[in-house]
Structure formats: structure tokens, C-alpha cells
């Protein structure tokens, strides 16, 4: 509920998860209006009405009227809908973390609604550590793990081998922000052998 900047931010978050979004507001942010369509939000250009909650599973109250947001959230929660009054932590049934995705890796940071800007700043730091171009490196680590599981049947020995591989990864890749690491270190090019510390 709401069609301004906050509503735009929440729509972008929901878009990444594949949610079907309906936006109710008398006025819409130009980017919301531009995004409307089969893959974008359904826009209802009018004031909120309680009937708008029918069929809703998750709700953001993002109007510029805090009291209206709180009333919408109360009504939604009474109807069993998970609801969030944007920028009003005391009236949120859930919080949206700052999310970083790199291939199969997903990192989420939350301040429980106390300081969303801090969550965003921390995510940006992680973006420096895990640039988008490093997806292949992470995929290589996943491949190596599967190879180790096949070659080393012993649970304890396998765990030790993987632990040493990750220790090398942390030392060489995560010891400093990406901008300070030159050249970029790739994952081990060979599958670690049992007891071979150099291969780790």
C-alpha cells in the first residue's frame, strides 16, 4: 500500500523473489508505472480499502501517513496476513534484510528494522569482498567439495580436507577487501588429496 519511493524499493525486493505484486495508491512513482505489465506490478490507482487485503499473503504499508500504515497493518494482522509498516519497526511483523546474491550463495543482513541504512552499508562492503565477477570462483569451490566427497570416503578425513581448503580460501581471498587483493586468487585448481597440505 503506497506508491512512492518506499513502495518502489519494496517492489524491487519482491520482484527478485518472483512474487506477484499489487500496488494500491492514488499516485504512482514513475518507475512503478513504467514497470506495470505481465512481469511487473498490478497497479490500482486509488485510496486503500480493507477489501484490498483479500487474497493477500504478505503486505507492506508504505504510504506517507504513519497512522494509516499502522491501521493497515493492524487490519492485515487480524486477517492473518504477514504485514510490515515501512520504517516503523514497532509495527512490523517481519523485516526485510539487505541481500547479496552471488550464484548459489545468498547473504542476508538485518538490523531488525532499527537501522536499514546500516544493513545496506554492510551489504556494500560484502559486495566489495565478493564482486559479481567472482561467481565462477564460488562455483569452483562447490565443484571441488563434490570431488572431495567422492574421493575421500572417511567422514573425519574428508571434513579435515575441506576445512583446510576453506582456511586457505579465507587467508587468500577474505583477508582483505577485494580492492586490496591483487592479483585475484582463484580456488585451488586441483582437487585436494588426503593429507596433501600443499594442494589445500
What's 47's domain CATH number?
3.40.50.720
Is 34 found in the same domain as 55? yes
* Domain ranges, residue 108: 98-130
Give the per-residue pLDDT at 184. Answer: 45
Mean pLDDT value of segment 60-85: 94
Whether 149 maps to a domain, the answer reads yes
pLDDT of 61 > 50? The answer is: yes
Extract the C-alpha cell encoding 20. Answer: 506477484
Give the per-residue pLDDT at 65. Answer: 92
The CB density around residue 19, as the number of other CB atoms within 10 Å, is 12
Contact indicator for 67, 46 with CB cutoff of 8 Å: no
Task: Please name the residue ranges forming H helices in the chain.
Answer: 5-16, 30-35, 66-78, 116-129, 135-151, 155-173
Is this model's pTM higher than 0.75 or not?
no
Is 19 found in the same domain as 87? yes
Q: Helices 155-173 and 135-151 sit at what angle, rounded to 10 degrees?
A: 160
- DSSP β-bridge partners for residue 59: 83
Whether 69 maps to a domain, the answer reads yes
How many domains are contained in the chain? 3
Is 141 found in the same domain as 125? no
* CA quadruple 36, 59, 109, 88: dihedral sign: positive
Is 62 found in the same domain as 73? yes
pLDDT of 191 > 70? The answer is: no
Whether 163 maps to a domain, the answer reads yes
Please count the residues of the chain: 200
How far apart CA 140 and CA 104 sit, in angstroms, is 11
- DSSP β-bridge partners for residue 99: 108
Amino acid at each position: 500500500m503506497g506508491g512512492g519511493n518506499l513502495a518502489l524499493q519494496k517492489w524491487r525486493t519482491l520482484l527478485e523473489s518472483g512474487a506477484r505484486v499489487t500496488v494500491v495508491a492514488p499516485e504512482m512513482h514513475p518507475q512503478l508505472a513504467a514497470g506495470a505489465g505481465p512481469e511487473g506490478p498490478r497497479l490500482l490507482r486509488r485510496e486503500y480499502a480493507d477489501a484490498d487485503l483479500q487474497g493477500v499473503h504478505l503486505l507492506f504499508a508504505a504510504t506517507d501517513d504513519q497512522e494509516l500504515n499502522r491501521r493497515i497493518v493492524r487490519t492485515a494482522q487480524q486477517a492473518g496476513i504477514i504485514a510490515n509498516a515501512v520504517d516503523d519497526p514497532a509495527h512490523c511483523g517481519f523485516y526485510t534484510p539487505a541481500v547479496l546474491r552471488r550464484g548459489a550463495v545468498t547473504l542476508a543482513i538485518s538490523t531488525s528494522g532499527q537501522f536499514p541504512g546500516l544493513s545496506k552499508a554492510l551489504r556494500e562492503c560484502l559486495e566489495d569482498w565478493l564482486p559479481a565477477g567472482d561467481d565462477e570462483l564460488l562455483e569452483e569451490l562447490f565443484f571441488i567439495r563434490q570431488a572431495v566427497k567422492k574421493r575421500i570416503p572417511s567422514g573425519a578425513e574428508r571434513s579435515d580436507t575441506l576445512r583446510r581448503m576453506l582456511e586457505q580460501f579465507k587467508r587468500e581471498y577474505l583477508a582483505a577487501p577485494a580492492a586490496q587483493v591483487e592479483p585475484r586468487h582463484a580456488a585451488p585448481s586441483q582437487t585436494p588429496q588426503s593429507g596433501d597440505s600443499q594442494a589445500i
